[in-house]
A and B are shown apart, each in its own frame.
Chain A
């Protein structure tokens, strides 16, 4: 197998990259100065060697534990459960949450072969059982699989006695009711709050 074939095969393993795109990227790299390819290779090696899941919350980090788990100013009695590490960034950008996180690494998806054992559900249950947690916020996506995952977590954590909550669903801020889809409006009505 040639070096070109090797790289195409490796790139084609990445999500959303098919063989044609992999070939295009490979030829793009070949047109660039060799130094650029070397920097890319070094960045990939560093990524593989340095970045790992935080042993507490499974966020990605280069330190022993992630910056959020290591921050003493954060509320350790509050855990927000998200599907992916990238969801943490979205919540952090809101500036409204000062608790801890737990990254599941996906959501229950039987069609894709993803079951409870493929997610970090057991470590979450253990973390909650260990004590010191007041509330767990289930912030999985508001899609059917995310809802099922939240239900599964609710059942797994019910015996722990901690308060369980689910993030709210409904109209986006700044959105027009007139243009919202029926499912979203129905959710907004169901999850309405008393003033």
Chain B
């Protein structure tokens, strides 16, 4: 039996009365667990297993099995505000997908804390202003997963890059390139100084500067391309990230 802080990233019904949840936990990383009887009207889980709820999970783990048993989940915080505006909802789903697809099934307390901070910030984001908050959370998760892009020195030759200059950003290389290296790197994007400042700020967990609509779209595209290049497992599309970028839900 393991008792650990956890957050619900995904939940779906299983058979007549149970639910399967995917949690990000402090002790075990990402885990899948079955909550038997969770759909019964008087289940001990109550409303605890809703998406993005934080709490203390009591897991019965079995060596060699992917699906654990959730014995109890004591909610410490639910986040109904994420459903009170569709841009928050779409952004929260994108963050959850990022973790579900790419986080390892091993202890990583930083992941839980980072996604908790990001979702808390999203719940407080003014309506219509969730994108920059979610972009910040997503880049922090990318950094926590060990893929933070290099922004201040050439990722190929380590030459210092002028912080006020537009630079070449190549997803495959993992960051910015100096002029010489950029010439040998086709398919790169140009990153204006303001965009680089924004990403640097997000990675440093500073409050986001105001960004106009086209800049936000460009940042969402840059993030998605970066994720697809470095993290996508088996070429499956990032459905929630794409839906968030295309404003399919919050149009």
Interface of A toward B, CB cutoff 8 Å = 16, 108-113, 115-117, 142-145, 147-148, 151-152, 155, 172, 175, 180-184, 187
Contacts and interface: CB of A to CB of B under 8 A. Distances in A.
Interface of B: 10-12, 14-15, 41-42, 45-48, 50-53, 75, 78-80, 82-86, 89-90, 93-94, 96-97, 100, 239-240, 243-244, 248-249
A110 B47 contact: no
Given A144-B82, A151-B84, A115 B249 contact: yes
A151 B80 CA distance: 12
A147 B80 contact: yes
B93 A110 contact: yes
Contacts of B82: 144, 148
17 contacts: A108-B89, A110-B240, A110-B244, A110-B248, A113-B243, A144-B50, A144-B51, A144-B80, A144-B89, A145-B51, A152-B249, A172-B41, A180-B46, A181-B45, A181-B48, A182-B78, A183-B47
Contact of A108 (B42, B50, B53, B249): B249
Contacts of A111: 10, 93, 96-97, 100, 239-240
Nearest to B46: A181
A152 B86 contact: yes
- 10 A-B pairs with least C-beta separation: A181-B46, A147-B83, A110-B240, A110-B93, A113-B239, A183-B47, A144-B51, A148-B89, A110-B243, A148-B83
Contact of A110 (B75, B78, B239): B239
Contacts of A144: 50-52, 79-80, 82-83, 89
A145 B42 CA distance: 21
Contacts of A112: 12, 239
Nearest to B249: A108
A177 to B, nearest CB: 12
A180 B43 CA distance: 10
A126 B167 CA distance: 49
Given A110-B94, A111-B93, A184 B47 contact: yes
- Name the prevailing secondary structure of the B interface residues: mixed
B249 A181 contact: no
A155 B12 CA distance: 26
B97 A110 contact: yes
B15 A16 contact: yes
Given A111-B96, A180-B46, 15 more contacts: A16-B14, A16-B15, A110-B94, A110-B249, A113-B239, A113-B240, A115-B249, A116-B248, A148-B83, A148-B89, A148-B249, A151-B89, A155-B86, A181-B46, A183-B53
Contacts of A116: 248-249
B50 A183 contact: yes
